[in-house]
DNA sequence: GCTTGCAAAATGTGATCACATTATGCGCTT
DNA sequence: AAGCGCATAATGTGATCACATTTTGCAAGC
């Protein structure tokens, strides 16, 4: 590993009039969600700026946004990296997805019209075709789109951004998962979800969504892919004399409280 | 309203070695969560920078972070403001709080030790004293701290940042709520929660948390404080010729999908 | 061979400036 | 008197630079 393992980021088309920092953000978000950044990967402002042929400023903005959405992790030395995955973290993410998405689906259900239902069917078809064609990236993408299309039936939902944050956090794990797990071709939970929508059956929809999430990533929890505890190389508290960050060590509760401004 | 109604932001103490942008972020976060920024309030980089006696750069960073956490709203004209509240939005926020916090409490329950339980009792005492002394700001703060201390019993929980994002979104509404609603002095749900913790009773804890959330802000949904639809003054799509943002109008689903990089 | 110390490179942070776009205020026209 | 148009001010975006801190590379010492 002598070479700098800089992962190339494929840039999407830039919308006319779109700010560069949002363009960069979209590129990084896609790269992270599809797992093109391996867990633990360090990312630097200047490095990304050079590889994307933009100045440092938009990259800085995009990184800050990604850190705020928990897609990236800010170490105490002010450096940014892709979070690594532990069994505990994986379990939390799975639970969070189920908790949020079953509720979002239930609340969206009464607002799904025929047009949207047809669109959902179309996406599911695309998933099946991509799966048959052996295009796992497309499968993952269209699967996210299926869920997103379902939840956004309720406009302005608070849940969607929260769900997307969780998706981003599971992203770095996706590629490893796609490469290592046999395509087990499970029962199509989307069919069950679509049937529940047609029946206007909230309980059945909840069951289908939860099963879909568990089928998708749940079985990965027991593979050997997860690290146990992972004290990161860039440690969470630096050792020597360091006038820059003289703040005392604080418990997570205290730290959160302070950041929240709770005296 | 001829004067510029710039809300003064009281700056907290700056930790030694703390970056300025984080200092600014903490100040703004606190101001927003305690409702010192009225809904609809416009915020500008230069304006805040001047009133805080810092340069524009850290303010720009802090605003971007707050927008990412949905504490502030980014209009299409690239201007930032405090989101306004609608009945639909309020209902979503209430549901999101209950969904997330009951789950977080359940998952934290097995990890609460005696020390933390005592700390929770101490916070509840402080709430009661502040309530008796007529200090609503302290009541709100310590109430958040109570919940935060409960959920962070499980270290590294994914739920805590999600919950904090929802708190931030309810923040601007808090001051209005505190000023307009009579202190109805409801039954102390925290006592019920503490009893459920002592009994290690997850179902009872869920009930207590949900009741606490509903008692705290739920009754505000029927007051006349909420706007119905609110097409904002800074409209969501600008009128004239505008080479800067030539992107076509897109549905929420499409916009989300594009931002997520889902082709 | 491994550690220690120091110099050089790399990195995040913050400040300042230029520019395009947007908002605002004022005078003019009807 | 009200609506319109234009000049001016205000704002977000992006670039570049300086600086303190951190990391890295390498050589000297045990």
User: Is residue A158 less than 8 Å (CB to CB) from chain B?
Assistant: yes
Which residues in chain B have their CB less than 8 angstroms from residue A156's CB? 88-89, 92, 252
Tokens of A240: 């020597």
A241 within a domain of the structure (yes/no): no
What mean pLDDT do residues A91-105 have? 95
Which residues in chain B have their CB less than 8 angstroms from residue A242's CB? 17
Question: Number of folded domains in chain A?
Answer: 2
A254 within a domain of the structure (yes/no): no
pLDDT at B201 over 50: yes
Confidence tier at A79 by pLDDT (50, 70, 90)? very high
B3 within a domain of the structure (yes/no): no
B4 within a domain of the structure (yes/no): no
Which 212-251 residues of chain A approach strand D with CB closer than 7 Å?
234, 238, 242-245
Strand C close to B247 by CB, under 7 A: no
A139 within a domain of the structure (yes/no): yes
Quote the percentage of chain B above a pLDDT of 70: 79
A6 within a domain of the structure (yes/no): no
Do B104 and B195 reside in the same domain of the chain? yes
Confidence tier at B74 by pLDDT (50, 70, 90)? very high
Provide the chain A residues 183-212 that lie in CB contact (below 8 A) with chain B. none
Do A21 and A148 reside in the same domain of the chain? no
Predicted confidence at residue B7, as pLDDT, reads: 61
Predicted confidence at residue A240, as pLDDT, reads: 37
Predicted confidence at residue A196, as pLDDT, reads: 96
Whole-number distance in Å between A24 CA and D10 C1': 27
What mean pLDDT do residues A135-149 have? 88
Do A29 and A69 reside in the same domain of the chain? yes
A60 within a domain of the structure (yes/no): yes
- Round to whole Å and give the CA distance between A131 and A142: 10
User: Is residue B18 less than 8 Å (CB to CB) from chain A?
Assistant: yes
CB contact under 8 A, B68 and A64: yes
- Closest partner residue to B141 among A78, A142, A263, by Cβ? A263
Residue bearing the bigger pLDDT, A62 or B131? A62
Do B96 and B65 reside in the same domain of the chain? no
Quote the percentage of chain A above a pLDDT of 90: 52
User: Is residue B249 less than 8 Å (CB to CB) from chain A?
Assistant: no
How buried is residue A16: exposed, middle or buried, by Cβ count under 10 Å (0-12/13-18/19+)?
exposed
Which residues in chain A have their CB less than 8 angstroms from residue B87's CB? none
- Round to whole Å and give the CA distance between B200 and A113: 44
Query: What CATH number should be reported for the domain holding residue B203?
Result: 1.20.120.530
How buried is residue A143: exposed, middle or buried, by Cβ count under 10 Å (0-12/13-18/19+)?
buried
- Strands, E, within B32-189: which ranges? 42-43, 73-74, 80-81
- For B10-69, the pLDDT digits (tens) are 899 888 889 999 999 999 999 998 888 888 889 999 999 999 999 999 999 999 999 999
Predicted confidence at residue A7, as pLDDT, reads: 61
Do A52 and A110 reside in the same domain of the chain? no
Do B126 and B170 reside in the same domain of the chain? yes
Do the Cβ atoms of A105 and A157 come closer than 8 Å? Answer: no
Closest nucleotide to B79: CA versus each C1': D12
Which residues in chain B have their CB less than 8 angstroms from residue A247's CB? 15-18
Query: What CATH number should be reported for the domain holding residue B252?
Result: 1.10.10.10
Strand C close to B234 by CB, under 7 A: yes
Do B65 and B132 reside in the same domain of the chain? no
Do A79 and A92 reside in the same domain of the chain? no
Stretch among A36-50, A58-72, B6-20, B114-128 having the lowest mean pLDDT = B6-20
Do A92 and A181 reside in the same domain of the chain? yes
Predicted confidence at residue A177, as pLDDT, reads: 66
User: Is residue B111 less than 8 Å (CB to CB) from chain A?
Assistant: no
Do A162 and A69 reside in the same domain of the chain? no
User: Looking at chain B, which residue has its C-alpha nearest residue A67?
Assistant: B65
What mean pLDDT do residues A89-118 have? 95
Do B94 and B192 reside in the same domain of the chain? yes
What mean pLDDT do residues B156-170 have? 93
Range of the domain at B103: 87-222
Residue-averaged pLDDT of chain A: 83
Do B191 and B207 reside in the same domain of the chain? yes
B215 within a domain of the structure (yes/no): yes
Tokens of B158: 């994914």
- For A178-227, the pLDDT digits (tens) are 666 555 556 778 999 999 999 999 999 999 999 999 887 655 555 555 55
How many beta carbons lie within 10 A of that of residue B32, not counting itself?
Answer: 26
For chains A and B, CB pairs below 8 A equal 174
Predicted confidence at residue B66, as pLDDT, reads: 96
- Round to whole Å and give the CA distance between B86 and B89: 5
Quote the percentage of chain A above a pLDDT of 70: 79
Tokens of B105: 């409490």
Predicted confidence at residue B34, as pLDDT, reads: 80
């Amino acid at each position: 590993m002598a070479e700098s393992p800089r992962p190339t980021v494929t840039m999407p088309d830039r919308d006319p009039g779109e700010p560069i920092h949002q363009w960069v953000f979209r590129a990084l978000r896609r790269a992270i969600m599809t797992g093109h950044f391996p867990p633990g990967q360090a990312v630097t402002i200047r490095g990304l700026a050079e590889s994307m042929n933009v100045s440092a400023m938009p990259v800085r903005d995009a990184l800050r946004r990604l850190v705020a959405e928990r897609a990236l992790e800010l170490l105490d030395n002010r450096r940014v990296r892709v979070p690594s995955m532990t069994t505990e973290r994986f379990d939390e993410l799975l639970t969070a997805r189920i908790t949020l998405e079953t509720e979002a689906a239930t609340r969206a259900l009464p607002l799904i019209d025929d047009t949207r239902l047809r669109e959902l069917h179309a996406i599911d078809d695309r998933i099946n075709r991509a799966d048959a064609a052996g295009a796992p990236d497309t499968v993952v993408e269209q699967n996210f789109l299926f869920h997103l299309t379902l939840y956004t039936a309720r406009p302005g939902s608070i849940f969607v951004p929260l769900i997307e944050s969780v998706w981003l956090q599971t992203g770095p794990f996706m590629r490893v998962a796609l490469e290592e797990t046999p395509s087990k071709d499970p029962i199509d939970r989307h069919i069950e979800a679509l049937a529940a929508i047609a029946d206007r059956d909230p309980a059945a929809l909840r069951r289908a969504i939860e099963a879909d999430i568990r089928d998708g990533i749940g079985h990965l929890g027991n593979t050997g892919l997860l690290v146990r505890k992972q004290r990161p190389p860039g440690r969470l508290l630096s050792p020597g004399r360091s006038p820059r960050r003289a703040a005392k060590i604080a418990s997570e509760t205290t730290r959160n409280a302070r950041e929240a401004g709770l005296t």
